[in-house]
Chain A
Amino acid sequence: QSVLTQPPSASGTPGQRVTISCSGSSSNIASNTVNWYQQLPGTAPKVLIYSNSQRPSGVPDRFSGSKSGTSASLAISGLQSEDEADYYCAAWDDSLNGQVFGTGTKVTVL
């Protein structure tokens, strides 16, 4: 079972702001950097945010990430139809000595 907890779904109309939370513990989010991955239908995931808040080149600046204590969040501002996808947070867990993923959040654009 996943160690990081996310809401199963989130939605918004085009142009709205959507926020996804990721709840963890002292051994993962509080101790290590958090990354976010976007998985479009039928494709492999791709990194959206790394090291809590850094965007790889090519990722629009309407995607932003933050971390505080044992939680992290991903915000999508100016929601667009192409943002419909599954989003996963991930971090290294020092107790498990392994990578852990969030439960995943499906974003729907209404």
Chain B
Amino acid sequence: QVQLQESGPGPVKPSQTLSLTCTVSGGSISSGSYYWSWIRQPAGKGLEWIGRIYPSGSTNYNLSLKSRVTISVDTSKNQFSLKVSSVTAADTAVYYCARSYYDFWSGYDYFDCWGQGTLVTVSS
């Protein structure tokens, strides 16, 4: 059973860079047919997809965040990471890492495994 766990340094000050890591256990991050995503949710609000990475390093980003976001993968550590630069209070949210199962021929592309989420607060 694959499990995902987010980790990060804690509160972030405005204008600084938010950094989170997702550690994958119970399976290899290099397994085919899976993308690895970051999703966030401000308190009391809906879900916002941030971006995703394939084990090869290929990425897709939410266009509204693309200029500030970098997602990377470290297959040797079975981890992938998120960096969001120049943060403001609007970036305060619960951040989830998630795995999506993808199959071009069947059209499957859905999040089948989620981390528990980690609250990141941006405050001076």
> Interface of A with B (CB < 8 Å)?
2, 32-33, 35, 37, 43-47, 50-51, 56, 88, 90, 92, 96-104
Q: Which of A35, A51, A99 contacts B52 (CB 8 A)?
A: A99
Chain B residue with the shortest CB-CB distance to A52: B107
B87-124 to A contact mask, C-beta < 8 Å, 1/0 = 00000000010001000001111111011110000000
CB–CB B107/A44 < 8 A: no
Q: Which residues of B contact A (CB under 8 A)?
A: 37, 46-49, 51-52, 60-63, 96, 100, 106-112, 114-117
Task: Give bound CA distance, A88 to B111, whole Å.
Answer: 12
Q: In the complex the two chains form, is A51's CB within 8 Å of B47's CB?
A: no
6 A-B pairs with CB atoms under 8 Å apart are A35-B111, A88-B46, A88-B47, A98-B49, A98-B62, A99-B37
Report the number of A-B residue pairs with Cβ-Cβ less than 8 Å.
Answer: 65
**Known A44-B117, A103-B46: A97·B111 in contact at CB below 8 Å:** no
Q: Assuming A47-B110, A50-B110, A97-B60, what are 19 further A-B pairs, CB within 8 angstroms?
A: A2-B46, A33-B107, A33-B108, A35-B110, A35-B111, A44-B115, A47-B111, A50-B108, A51-B106, A56-B112, A88-B47, A90-B111, A92-B109, A98-B51, A98-B60, A98-B63, A99-B37, A101-B46, A104-B46
Give chain B residues whose Cβ lies under 8 Å from the Cβ of A46.
114
B47 contacts A44, CB within 8 Å?
A: no
